[in-house]
């Protein structure tokens, strides 16, 4: 009779330990931040010698929803479509942080659609000269609120790409 009670207690303890471990493991997974997308980009200068814009092309990687992307510069920048497209970046509208979808109604001002896909280019116009400007593209795990969302920071914000532009590059 004592061995039956011992076995019942051993099974009960095993079930309690297994339940505790399961709750602990699943609780750990719930606090994980979403994984930032993987991107490979290239940067080049476009335009004439008096006014140049930085073209950032997604060469390879994940499709990224544009409502989660923003660009920051070491000086104020504006983001837009290709020069001459009617949605061109313009340093007159520059700010330290630019949301990819900053136009009213959430229409991507970068003219690439709802996702940034391989082969698509966004254009960034820094205020004044492009020489020495550092431009970074950030991703945030949730949709960006407002036109200019403020300094990217926190556990849910990741820098996807960054480049310091030199006219001699």
For the stretch 27-70, pLDDT in tens is 665 555 567 888 899 998 887 666 788 889 999 988 988 888 88
Asked if residue 12 belongs to a domain, the reply is yes
Residue 45 tokens, joined: 């200068």
Q: What are phi and psi of 97, to 5 degrees?
A: -130, 135
Residues 22 and 59 in one domain: no
Q: What average pLDDT does the structure give for the chain?
A: 78
CA distance 43 to 137: 12
Contact residues for 164 (Cβ-Cβ < 8 A; gap 6+): 74, 132, 133, 134
pLDDT, greater one: 162 or 99: 162
- Which pLDDT belongs to residue 125? 86
Asked if residue 169 belongs to a domain, the reply is no
Residues 9 and 47 in one domain: no
**Domain count along the chain:** 2
Of 2-16, 20-34, 117-131, 142-156, the least confident: 142-156
Contact residues for 55 (Cβ-Cβ < 8 A; gap 6+): 43, 44, 45, 46, 82, 121, 122, 123
Residues 43 and 26 in one domain: no
SS3 assignment, position 10: helix
- Which pLDDT belongs to residue 12? 87
Residue 143, pLDDT above cutoff 70 = no
Residue-range definition of the domain harbouring residue 27 = 1-32
pLDDT interval class at 23 (50, 70, 90): confident
- Which pLDDT belongs to residue 3? 82
Q: Identify the residue whose tokens are 């945030």.
A: 140
Residues 63 and 12 in one domain: no
For the stretch 83-127, pLDDT in tens is 777 777 777 777 888 777 765 555 556 667 788 899 988 888 888
Q: What are phi and psi of 40, to 5 degrees?
A: -120, 125
């Amino acid at each position: 009779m004592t061995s039956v009670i011992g076995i019942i207690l051993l099974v009960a303890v095993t079930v309690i330990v297994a339940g505790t471990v399961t709750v602990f493991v699943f609780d750990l997974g719930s606090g994980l931040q979403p994984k930032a997308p993987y991107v490979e980009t290239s940067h080049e200068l476009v335009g004439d010698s008096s006014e140049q814009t930085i073209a950032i092309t997604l060469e390879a990687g994940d499709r990224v929803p544009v409502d989660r992307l923003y660009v920051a510069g070491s000086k104020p920048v504006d983001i837009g479509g290709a020069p001459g497209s009617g949605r061109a970046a313009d340093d007159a509208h520059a700010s330290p942080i630019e949301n990819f979808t900053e136009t009213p109604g959430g229409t991507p001002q970068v003219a690439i659609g709802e996702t940034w896909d391989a082969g698509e280019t966004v254009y960034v116009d820094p205020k004044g000269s492009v020489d020495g400007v550092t431009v970074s593209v950030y991703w945030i795990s949730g949709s960006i609120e407002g036109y200019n969302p403020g300094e990217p920071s926190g556990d849910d914000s990741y820098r996807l790409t960054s480049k310091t532009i030199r006219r001699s590059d």
